[in-house]
Chain A
Amino acid sequence: MQFESRHIGNVAVAAPAGRLDHSVSEAFEQSLLPLAGDPNTRALVVDFSGVDYISSVCLRVLMLAAKALRARKGRIAAVSLQPIVAEIFAISRFDSVFEMFPSLPYALGALSPGSAPAQGTPAAPNNA
């Protein structure tokens, strides 16, 4: 697994890449949770454009990140899901946990200060 992160204002953007399966769950957790737990992070966007699979144990890591952010009224979003990963989100009902956006610019626009949460918004087609 590869993992990159950056900040755009007080929005943290995480970009894992590869196959998020059981073998990388610990590394994924150690990379993602510090971002979610950073008190300066008001929102976390996870860019899934480089992810071709995600397993239950890595979905759980996402849930931990969501809990950490929500505990201080932060927001969490998932963007640019490949079709298979989007299906896994739907089947596991994680699409109701995350704000879902077709791409990073949509998420940054929605997560900018003053914008309302869009929890449960169905993922728009990635080519939208």
Chain B
Amino acid sequence: MQGARFWGTRGSLPVALGAAGVRAKLIAALRNANGRTFDSDGDLRAYLDALPFEISGTFGGNTACVELLTGGTEYVICDCGSGLRSFGQATLARHGAALPQTYHVFVSHVHWDHIMGLPFFGPAYIPGNRVVFYGGHRNLEAALRRQMEAPSFPVRFDVFGASIEFVHLSPDTAHDVAGMRVTLKRQHHTGDSYGYRFEKNGRTIVYSTDSEHKLTEPNERPAFADFFRDADLVIFDAMYSLAEATSIKADWGHSSNIVGVELCQLAHVRELCLFHHEPALDDAALAKVLAETRRFEEITRGDTALRVSAAYDGLEILL
């Protein structure tokens, strides 16, 4: 296991950086330049690299889709949110359409934001490719087919030219897929969701999104601490603030940055990556959440530091 590449990081609904947002970033960058001149594109890039990410970049707006960099020849993907379209385009650009590929797709659950990219996944339409879906839901295939039925979508699921397979995975049992040891955990979410623990060559990535952590359930903390135990990277649903998650948005099926830090510290995780960003939060707000989460980790730190990052479309984390 080498790392993870993020193609979609937003929760619930795709969002776009609109004209006003672009303009605000340009104003901030130009104001920050304060009359400075640039002799080359290299100077410009260096200047942009030194700006805060919320000015020079954007967290992006595609819904959940994460590629695991396993070091193998077959692709491994978590969730089919709108980011799957970009992933598919990238693999086609890399290999062309004539060279068959295998895609292993692990689905956390079948809510729309986690499956909406599939109808736009180019490799699924190409004969010779193989797409294998894995999940803990018995209705996984039915849900993927249904979203492509009339009148919701003009192309039916059966039009896919690739070999499509479905594999049901039982939770709390280890499975061998694409050279990885894969374990599932059922999570609190409407209709249930499943977290995945992927282990290969002594490296571990946990993908745990759309998961509400019930703070009063006695087994909750130890069970998730075991699931996260000693992971190199935990991709964690931090959609809401703790205040929201315990009040007006309780039982909405999501968690917070605070609980993410606490669980990862308990489990001796190396890096926590905040994920499934609330679509109402702009880049400045998400950057603030990241800075605050790092500060929370600092003031609650035990013997070892927990690295904290926030996922954005295009981020690559190498273990």
Contacts and interface: CB of A to CB of B under 8 A. Distances in A.
Interface of A: 22, 53, 55-57, 59-60, 63, 66-67, 84, 87-88, 90-94, 96-97
Nearest to B255: A56
Contacts of A55: 262
Interface of B: 215-216, 221, 241-244, 246-247, 256-259, 262, 292-293, 295-296, 299-300
A59 B242 contact: yes
Contact of A56 (B215, B292, B299): B215
Interface of chain A, main secondary structure: helix
A84 B299 contact: yes
Contacts of B300: 53
30 contacts: A22-B221, A55-B262, A56-B215, A56-B242, A56-B258, A56-B262, A57-B215, A59-B242, A59-B243, A59-B258, A60-B246, A63-B243, A63-B247, A66-B247, A84-B299, A87-B295, A87-B299, A88-B296, A90-B292, A91-B258, A91-B292, A91-B296, A92-B242, A92-B258, A93-B241, A93-B242, A93-B243, A94-B242, A94-B243, A97-B247
Nearest to A97: B243
A56 B241 contact: no
B243 A96 contact: yes
Contact of A92 (B215, B216, B221, B256): B256
Contacts of A56: 215, 242, 256, 258-259, 262
Contacts, number: 51
- Interface hub of A66, A87, A91 (most chain B Cβ within 10 A): A91
Contacts of A93: 241-244
Contacts of B299: 84, 87-88
A84 B293 CA distance: 14
Contacts of A91: 257-258, 292-293, 295-296
A117 B299 CA distance: 31
